Structure 1
Amino acid sequence: MSTTLAQVVVLSAPWTEPVRVAAGLDDDDGVLILLSDGGPGGRWSHIGAEPDRRWMGAVEDAASFAALRNEAFGPGTVGLAAYDAGARAATGPRERVWPDLMLARYPTLLTFDHHDRQVRAVGRGETPQAAQAAARRALAWLHQATPLHTPPAPAETFQAEAPPQAYLDAVTDVVARIGAGELFQANVARAWSGVLTPEGRPLDVFLRLQTRRAAPFGAYWRLGDRALVSNSPELFLAFDARTRRVATRPIKGTRARAADPDDDAALAADLVASAKDRAENLMIVDLMRNDLSRVCTPGSVRVEQLFGVESHPTVHHLVSTVTGAAGVGVGAADLLEATFPPGSITGAPKHQAMKVIAAHEPPRGPWCGALFLIEADGGLTASVLIRTAGFERVGDRWRFRTLAGAGVVADSDPEAELLETEAKISAMREALVGQQPVQGMTSTVRGRR
């Protein structure tokens, strides 16, 4: 087979909700599901299977996406960059708990445009006949669509890897380091892990999230004995290869939602008015402006929106938008190398923040890395892998690990940051084990809940 698939066939089909197509798929090796909630920040969904090329392993150095420059991985390529691959420049060698970079090329894709309510089956091949056959295979997946029924909670266990006090101590230490002038902000996380029941599947976790908590960048991806489930609301990078526009939308600032509408509105207003959260957001906006300036035309980087509020099923977020015009010759690999890992989940200055994070956390793996799609014209869409769990099959069981973090700044209150991690992990916890009381919280935090 040649390294490129030059022939492309696109077939149109009536609108079908992509989540129904996802629910009807067999959970085979190579299945890819990228589902948006159809809101303003999530126009496109994609479903794929049967990748014809794969690459998995360590990157050449801490910020190299050289494999993406291989002509074998062009349009239709999906990739996952683990957080630790980008952090290693600051942390030095650490245990690899997940491949640095995973790539797979999909000659067969379904693409759903939620805004125009259109479905396209995209087939690529060496010949027109091969491309036509690939597109028709994609169309066949639409006939398997089925109503989405919530699977039972698939996790047998869900345990914090450290007691809440360890996180309180970590936040206290980071606040002290900030006071000493070592850094301005660090995103410090907690981890939970466990095992699924013998019949439990990572896909069940994804489908449970889709029933009530769909996000702009929901994702399920299985390659071999590894699987990823993400319910991320955060865009890392969007690159339009035709207009050269690059955008990033860092999230910093969170409030848990309330059932009462008046209380919920008050929480959103409190988030917008919070000097602490605005300062936290602004620091990351400045960091992302600096990162984008490395690969954008001088003078083109600007802040299009500052301190916008986005509301999701369990939380309100403070979100800003930074844009720029990519320089001549700049492509997806260059953009990722200049900006990875995302500033919103490291801190400022980025290099020092990653060192501080490593002092308090074991390697993160896929969490807070990036999942990305190389588009037909060389464009790029990449999400930040928050609200994400990584799965590995050991024997006949799937084991998982998931994390939630909070941005720590000079005036952070440790118990408030602990509470924020509980709000952020709540949707993933419910998807894994169902509604259960939170164990191990301090009495003060319980009272504030």
Structure 2
Amino acid sequence: MSTLGPVVGYRPGLVDLHPPGSASSCIPQVWERSRLEWHSRDGGDPLSILSAFLTAAGLPVNDLSQSRTVTDTVCGAAVLLAPPSCVASPAPGVPDLVAVVYGHTPPPAPPVPAARPVPAARVGLWTPSWSPAEHAAAVSAVREAIARGDVYQANVVGHASAPFAGDPRAALARVAALPGARYGGVLSGGGTADTASWWVACASPETLVEVADGRAVTRPIKGTRPATPQGRAELLASAKERAEHIMIVDLERNDLGRVARTGTVRVEELFAIRRWSRLWQAESTVSARLAAGVGLAELLGAVWPGGSVTGAPKLAAIDVVSALEPVGRGPSMGAAGWIGHGPDGRLRLDLGLTIRTVAVADGLAHVWAGGGIVWDSDPVAEVAEAAAKTAPIKAALAA
């Protein structure tokens, strides 16, 4: 379903609500030209629908293996893509696919109203979709699946919701501005800029896939510790975290290999320590030259959903966690980012994995977090790790 509407990702004079991953040079002047909002109930293949919509809007995504020029009148498109799920989302009002195409010139519309006060949002008590004991039991169930040989690793994701009232823009802008948020940004829809029915804020540090001049890059993150000197030392010394991380790097190498020129897949950096908010995380960089003719649908078909939020083997891991998680992942653990002008005017694709993501819809705020489970995972520690990942988001919402 394609709709045109006045909802924008950025409103001068209000709070900074730029789209996730948008080019900094474009942010002050972007305006919405067209929009796609699609729910799985609408039917069809979301990757093909997205590719066709962006191509029709003037973004040449049908062949990413070579450098392509973007027309000057199109700035680019913000994209939000939820992971496929057989479990109902706790935020059904948020579309499963959103693409907002922005113009690159001043909008043909009346001037934006002057700045006005933004009333503070109010966040109630958080209610998890499962108890700590139930979360720990799911971790143990994954360990049993590993013992049976069903999977090597699976990523278990939990969810919590809280009553939410008031204007969400300032709160979501704080989420998007969390330290280390490479894909910090906000999207909204379902109404006007002042009466949107759904909002999604992303503060993700993780690259699902980035493409420029035919070169594709993914940066999987696996391994977490508190952002202290001791936490950093523990992460570097942990054989468990390193083994879990390398499993996902191998999976990402295989995913990229499906759409790469033969012999071009490279691990450029392995187990580098990066900081996100209050946490240290381990990140690697895997790259490849795309094979001739690989378009957006083929690329996303290979790498989405990301290996670090599914597991290995990917399809088997998805089956395991789908039977364990109490609610769907909604817009989390999918993709969000920007497809449009790069610094040189050429097409740039930069999609983050929607970890560290919050949705607001129907009077509720929703957060998701989890972690990769391997044979020697400690259920109690995994529950604590998920809580540590959502804590900065909850704090930003309530500030």
Change (3 A) 1:26 1:278: closer
> Would the aligned equivalents of 1:288 and 1:339 in 2 still touch at CA under 8 Å?
yes
More off after superposition, 319-328 vs 332-341: 332-341
Change (3 A) 1:61 1:211: closer
Matches within 5 A, 1:239-318: 239-240=211-212, 243-257=213-227, 264-318=228-282
Find the counterpart in structure 2 of residue 235 from structure 1: 207
Q: CA deviation at 1:173?
A: 1.0
CA distance in 2, matches of 1:203, 1:432: 10
Q: CA deviation at 1:34?
A: 3.0
Tell me which amino acid in the other structure corresponds to 2:95.
P
Q: CA deviation at 1:280?
A: 0.7
Which of the pair has more CA radius of gyration? Answer: 1
Q: CA deviation at 1:208?
A: 2.5
Q: How many residues align?
A: 358
> Would the aligned equivalents of 2:261 and 2:288 in 1 still touch at CA under 8 Å?
yes
Instruction: Pick 1 or 2: higher relative contact order, CA cutoff 8 A, min separation 6.
Output: 2
Asked if residue 100 in structure 1 is aligned to residue 84 in structure 2, the reply is no
> Would the aligned equivalents of 1:305 and 1:320 in 2 still touch at CA under 8 Å?
yes
TM-score by length of 2: 0.81
Find the counterpart in structure 1 of residue 301 from structure 2: 337
Q: 1:34 aligns with which of 20, 27, 51?
A: 20
Find the counterpart in structure 2 of residue 56 from structure 1: 38
Change (3 A) 1:288 1:55: same
CA distance in 2, matches of 1:193, 1:52: 31
Over aligned residues, Cα RMSD in angstroms?
Answer: 3.0
> Would the aligned equivalents of 1:239 and 1:245 in 2 still touch at CA under 8 Å?
yes
Q: Which has the higher helix share?
A: 1
CA distance in 2, matches of 1:26, 1:315: 26
CA distance in 1, matches of 2:12, 2:35: 25
Q: CA deviation at 1:332?
A: 2.4
Matches within 5 A, 1:311-390: 311-361=275-325, 362-376=327-341, 377-390=346-359
Asked if residue 223 in structure 1 is aligned to residue 185 in structure 2, the reply is no
TM-score by length of 1: 0.72
Change (3 A) 1:94 1:429: closer
Asked if residue 172 in structure 1 is aligned to residue 147 in structure 2, the reply is no
Q: CA deviation at 1:403?
A: 0.8
Q: CA deviation at 1:32?
A: 4.4
Tell me which amino acid in the other structure corresponds to 1:301.
V
Change (3 A) 1:167 1:315: same
Tell me which amino acid in the other structure corresponds to 1:101.
L
CA distance in 1, matches of 2:225, 2:119: 29
Change (3 A) 1:416 1:219: same
CA distance in 1, matches of 2:307, 2:124: 34
Find the counterpart in structure 2 of residue 261 from structure 1: none
Q: CA deviation at 1:100?
A: 2.6
Percent of aligned pairs with the same amino acid: 34
Q: Unaligned 5+ residue runs, structure 2?
A: 1-8, 60-75, 191-196
